[in-house]
Amino acid sequence: MIKVNENFLKMQDSYLFSTIAKKVAKYQEENPDKKIIKLGIGDVTRPIVPKVLEQMHDAVDEVGKSESFRGYGPEQGYEFIRKAIVENDYKKRGINIELDEVFVSDGAKCDCGNIVDLFGTNNKVAITDPVYPVYLDTNIMTGRTGKYDEETGKYEGIIYLPCTAENNFIPELPKEVPDMIYLCFPNNPTGTVLKKEELAKWVKYAKENKSIILFDSAYEAFISEEDVPHSIYEIEGAKEVAIEFRSFSKTAGFTGIRCAYTVVPKELKAYTEDGGEIGLNRLWNRRQCTKFNGVSYITQKGAEAVYSKEGQEEIKENIKYYMENAKIIREGLEEVGITYYGGINSPYVWLKVPNNMKSWDFFDLLLEKANVVGTPGVGFGPSGEGYFRLTAFGNRENTEEAMRRIKNTLQF
Q: What is the binding site for ligand PLP (CB under 6 A)?
A: 42, 107-109, 132, 184, 188, 216, 218, 247, 249, 255, 260
- Residue 322 in contact with residue 399, Cβ under 8 Å? no
DSSP 165-219: GGGTT-PPPPSSPPSEEEEESS-TTT-----HHHHHHHHHHHHHHT-EEEEE-TT
CB of 248 to ligand PLP, least distance (A): 7
Minimum Å distance from CB 381 to ligand PLP? Answer: 13
Q: What are phi and psi of 84, to 5 degrees?
A: -60, -40
Which of 194, 338 has the CB closer to ligand PLP? 194
Q: How far is the CB of 303 from ligand PLP (least distance, A)?
A: 11
Which residue has the CB atom at the shortest distance from ligand PLP? Answer: 107
Instruction: Give whole-number Cα distances, 117 to 222, 266, 324, 365, in Å.
Output: 30, 18, 40, 41
Nearer to ligand PLP, 188 or 383 (CB): 188
Q: How many residues does the chain have?
A: 412
Residue closer to ligand PLP, measured from CB, 315 or 370: 315
Residue (of 352, 302, 350) closest to 326 by Cα position: 350
**Closest among 155, 102, 106, 103 to 131, alpha carbons compared:** 155
- Min separation Cβ 1 and ligand PLP, Å: 36
* 23 touches 36 (CB < 8 A): no
User: To the nearest whole angstrom, how small is the minimum distance from the Cβ of residue 216 to ligand PLP?
Assistant: 5
Closest approach, Cβ 112 to ligand PLP, in A, equals 6
Nearer to ligand PLP, 179 or 216 (CB): 216
Return the number of the residue (388 or 410) whose C-beta is nearest ligand PLP. 388
Smallest distance from the beta carbon of 186 to ligand PLP, in angstroms? Answer: 9
C-beta closer to ligand PLP: residue 115 or 344: 115
Cβ contacts of 54 within 8 Å, gap of 6 or more: 305
Q: 309-335 vs 396-410: helix axis angle to the nearest 10?
A: 10
* Angstrom distance (rounded) from CA 253 to CA 56: 14
Between 95 and 184, name the residue whose CB sits nearer to ligand PLP: 184
Whether residue 301 contacts residue 55, with contact meaning beta carbons closer than 8 Å, is answered with yes
